[in-house]
Amino acid sequence: MARLCVKLNDKDNVAVALNEIQPGTLAIDDVVANEVIPQAHKIALADIPAGKPVIRYGVVLGYAMEPIKKGDWINEFMVELPEPPGLDDMEYGKNIVTDLPKAPVTTFEGYRNPNGGYAGTRNILAIHTTVQCVTGVLNVAVKKMKEELLPKYPNVDDIVPINHAYGCGVAINASEAKIPIRALHNLVKHPNFGGQIMAVSLGCEKMTIDKLLDEKDINDDNVIVLQEKKGFDAMIDALMEMAEKKLKVLNERKRETLPLSDLCIGMQCGGSDAFSGVSANPSAGYASDMLVSAGATVMFSEVTEVRDGVHFIAERCVNAEVRDKLAAEMKWYDNYLLNGEVDRSANPTPGNKKGGLCNIVEKAMGSIAKSGSAPIVEVLSPAEIPTKKGLIYAATPASDIVCGPCQLASGITLQVFMTGRGTPYGLAAAPVIKVCSRNDMKNQWPDLIDINAGPAATGEKTVQEVGTELFNKIIAVASGKDQSFAEKYKLYNDLCIFNPAPIT
């Protein structure tokens, strides 16, 4: 008989319905559904008195706001959010796992980085901007470049404008302005851009060119200032001329066999549901462990989606310094939300809740599963460049379109994106592999979802089997032997640069 529910931990007093369960159905063990239990939602495995904990993942999700009977449907309106874990004196180094699954390969075909550091997975001409004001002109020029120039340089994958909404009308000297400036500055050095620098400035913006580029790179070979050009045609001609020079250099890049220690991967989830922590994220975590065991660097992120599991992350930090940076990033974000008169409970979306996630605690416990079990060697502030290799926690907002650019600025050259509800999200600067949590999602979007982790929820496959499938997909896409659907269809989101500083 096919199982109808999933229970993850012996301590749990709830289970998750694999499909909608009708009243009177024997759902699991001796538990009979008292009412309709929607797919991915929780059924009570025992009576839960008011004020007593609702437990999933072996963790208290919250407290029953009224008596819950065995067999009842538990939804978002029935559970009171607990206090977040404390951040002072968290234990570290007590859950250091070194026996990680062995990777089937230890190399990939990548582009050596002329600046040193992580290798590229793609060969892209990126055109960086200091301010949103130049976007209109640049977009016209890029269209012309792709039509007239790109076909002449077959070894170049794409031309990508790094457009953003930052640069002027902002408090450029505010303390937190360092975050968007750091992100844009670090994006210039992204491994997929091959060391070629092309920047477009308006000429009067607050984000001056010296904030975007290193001093040694500020010259006429790399920078075009639109206000110095005599009209639109002159602007387009200058952009075309500079782009062709850069394309000629990039066209000489060739893939070569490189160790996985040259690869940097990002892990992110969005449109999550209650199966995300059952199938998609644990499978990604297994793939992450294989990558780390082979020497690769893997980043996971999303502050509000780890905040309620931060003590579990701290236990995997290799030393007190890493633990302390983790606590500092959590405190910074707590204050950031407090200043906006909200807290972490603002995170879950209507879709998350429809997908069975009753609150941010449940979402967070599923989210951290994508980090696997490897030791955490470093914690980064938003858009910082790593100094270590291995598993890294990169503190970013949970918003998909903000987390992605932050991870790009930190050097990821490929992203793995887990989803339960579905999203066509993608990045122009790096390929994105989409992993879904349920069979229904793959059936709904067969040509948008790359890896289906649904069988890990139903028991048709193990997490290890799906994780290995994902690992192999990562290597194939990173090596240019395969494309994700988002890359194939060029489903690219706009870059949303994280800016916690004031706008003037």
Q: Which pLDDT score is estimated for 3? A: 84
CA-wise closest residue to 372 among 311, 274, 286: 286
What is the per-residue pLDDT across 369-420, written as a single tens digit (0 to 9) for each? Answer: 999 999 999 999 999 999 999 999 999 999 999 999 999 999 999 999 999 9
CA-wise closest residue to 496 among 398, 394, 419: 398
CA-wise closest residue to 440 among 422, 426, 423: 422
With b for 16 or more beta-carbon neighbours within 10 A and e for fewer, the 240-257 pattern comes to: eebbeebbeebbebebee
Q: Where are the beta strands (DSSP E) in 175-302?
A: 199-201, 223-225, 256-259, 264-269, 297-300
Amino acid at 367: S
Q: Which pLDDT score is estimated for 1? A: 53
**168, 141, 192, 468 alpha-carbon torsion, rounded to 10°:** 100
Q: What is the mean pLDDT of each run of 10 residues along the chain (504 residues)?
A: 87 96 96 97 98 97 97 96 95 97 98 95 98 98 98 98 96 96 98 98 97 98 98 98 98 98 97 96 98 98 96 98 98 96 92 95 96 98 98 97 97 98 97 97 98 96 98 98 98 96 94
Q: Where are the beta strands (DSSP E) in 272-386?
A: 297-300, 376-380
**422, 427, 433, 437 alpha-carbon torsion, rounded to 10°:** -20
Do residues 166 and 500 lie in contact, with contact meaning Cβ atoms separated by under 8 Å? no
Do residues 32 and 71 lie in contact, with contact meaning Cβ atoms separated by under 8 Å? yes
What is the per-residue pLDDT across 180-231, written as a single tens digit (0 to 9) for each? Answer: 999 999 999 999 999 999 999 999 999 999 999 999 999 999 999 999 999 9
DSSP 110-147: EBPPTTSSSPBSS-EEEEEESSGGGHHHHHHHHHHHHH
Structure tokens, 200 = 């477009």
Structure tokens, 133 = 């004001």
Collapsed DSSP state (helix, strand, coil) of residue 434: strand
pTM (two decimals) = 0.96
Q: Which residues contact 303 (CB under 8 A, 6 or more apart)?
A: 329, 330, 333, 395, 396, 397, 398
The CA-atom distances, in angstroms, between 204 and each of 161, 179, 207, 209, 214 are: 20, 21, 9, 10, 19
List 376's β-bridge partners, or say none. 317, 391
